[in-house]
Amino acid sequence: MTAIRSKPLRRRKSPLGSRWTPYLLFGPAVLYIVVFQAVPLLQEIWLSFTRTSLLNPGRSVWVGISNYTTVFASESFRQTLLTTLLYVIVCVIGAVVSGLVVALLLNAKFPGRGIARALVTVPWAAPGIATALIATWMLNAQYGIVSRTLNALGLGVGGGGILDNAELALPAILLTTIWQLFPFVSVVLLSALQSVPEELVEAAKMDGAGRAWVFRVVTWQVIKPTVGLVALLITIWSLRRFELIWLMTRGGPLGSTRTLVIDLYSQAFDSKQLGTAAAIGMVGIMISLIVIVGARFVTRATERES
């Protein structure tokens, strides 16, 4: 007897519910992001072509690209760009190199490895304000442990302390930032290191290969893409980082720690110039986009090579 089917089995394109299901699922979230991020961004773009005061934000005067020309012509913005460039480059190199070293160290087997791996995340987990507070205290000219140690070693910095010194403030901020960032790099690279085939490493060592050779030929090849990804991430993040610098130096002394984001915020809330602030912000976004696009090119190019 032939089986009687009451309803033929249908193959649906969407696996469940009506075709509206996906929209219901992602709709609220996407709408949320659009309202709280995309729309403000569009507003910022518009603001960048106006002269608007924080005190009277309803009244905007259209000034075309004059904010941009003023900004690019200004000496102080050139300083901002240079400072930002320096900041980003040192952050990335510092965080990636130190993170990689720590990841390699933590990859070895030793007792208490689990605890070590957990403890190393402390700088990443600590709130930025707490880090800023303790760093400022440690760098306090008279009583901070760093100043005291330096003085004891004869490397005294003199009167105002490190954060008031136009040449030392940025390095101090950079060291603090790298301290915050390296755990993230370590943790990600540590996972990547798990993919390195141990048998290859062991075999190479048994053939008498030196550690450097093993690293260069085996390990590095495996983790290279992850290192690239992490470096890109840190680069983009560096262009956004605000808290630590704002809390520790406000961009001073003499603008030596004034990065793009600090400049932006200062223009908006200190100088009350929303238009200029927006223009600076847009420059920052452009730079981020260039970095991302550039990174994709580099990745494609290196992939084609291998």
Partner 1 sequence: MLAVLVVLGIAVFPLYWIFTTALTSDSELFGSEPRLIPDLSRFPVFIEALVDGQTLIWLRNSLIVAVGTTVLSIGLGIPLGYALSRFSFRGKVAIGVLLLFTQMLPEALLVVPLFALFRQFGLLDSLQGLILADTAFVLPIVALILKGAIDGVPRELEEAARVDGARPLGVLLRINIPLIAPSIAAAAVIAFFSAWNEYVFAVTFVFDKSLQPASVGLAGFIGEQGTQIQTIMAVAFLFTLPAVAFYLFAQKYVVSGMTAGAVKG
Task: State which of positions 212-231 bind partner 1 (CB under 8 A).
Answer: 229
Distances (CA, A) of 228 to 36, 217, 235, 284: 30, 17, 10, 21
Q: Which residue stretch of 73-81, 196-204, 211-219, 235-243 sits at the interface with partner 1 (rule: CB under 8 A)? A: 235-243
Binding to partner 1 in span 25-84, by CB under 8 A:
25-26, 28-30, 32-41, 43-44, 47, 54, 57
Pick from 69, 121, 271, 302 the residue near partner 1 by CB under 8 A: 121
Q: Give the nearest distance from C-beta 207 to partner 1 in angstroms.
A: 25
Biggest distance spanned by C-alpha atoms of the chain:
101
Q: Give the nearest distance from C-beta 260 to partner 1 in angstroms.
A: 8
Cis peptide bond N-terminal to 8, omega within 30: no
First to last CA, the chain: 62
User: DSSP assignment of 53-66, as one string?
Assistant: BTTSTT-EEE-TTH
Q: Which residue stretch of 89-97, 210-218, 241-249, 293-301 sits at the interface with partner 1 (rule: CB under 8 A)? A: 241-249
- The phi, psi pair for 151, rounded to 5°, reads -60, -40
Q: Which residue stretch of 75-83, 86-94, 140-148, 295-303 sits at the interface with partner 1 (rule: CB under 8 A)? A: 140-148
Question: What is the token pair recorded at 210?
Answer: 């030196």
Give the nearer residue to partner 1 in terms of CB position, either 256 or 266. Answer: 266
99 near partner 1, rule: CB under 8 A: no
Strand ranges in 28-156 using DSSP code E only, listed in sequence order: 50-52, 60-62
Give the nearer residue to partner 1 in terms of CB position, either 71 or 120. Answer: 120
Q: Report the distance separating Cα 234 and Cα 245, nearest Å.
A: 16
95 near partner 1, rule: CB under 8 A: no
Q: Spell out the SS3 assignment of 226-246.
A: HHHHHHHHHHHHHCCCCHHHH
265 near partner 1, rule: CB under 8 A: yes
Give the nearer residue to partner 1 in terms of CB position, either 32 or 72. Answer: 32
281: left (phi over 0), alpha (psi -120 to 50) or beta: alpha
# residues near partner 1 by CB under 8 A: 86
Binding mask 177-216 for partner 1 (x = CB under 8 A): --x---x---xx--x-------------------------
Give the nearer residue to partner 1 in terms of CB position, either 203 or 240. Answer: 240
Give the nearer residue to partner 1 in terms of CB position, either 25 or 217. Answer: 25
16 near partner 1, rule: CB under 8 A: yes
Q: Which residue stretch of 59-67, 71-79, 212-220, 263-271 sits at the interface with partner 1 (rule: CB under 8 A)? A: 263-271
Distances (CA, A) of 76 to 71, 83, 103, 247, 267: 8, 10, 39, 21, 12
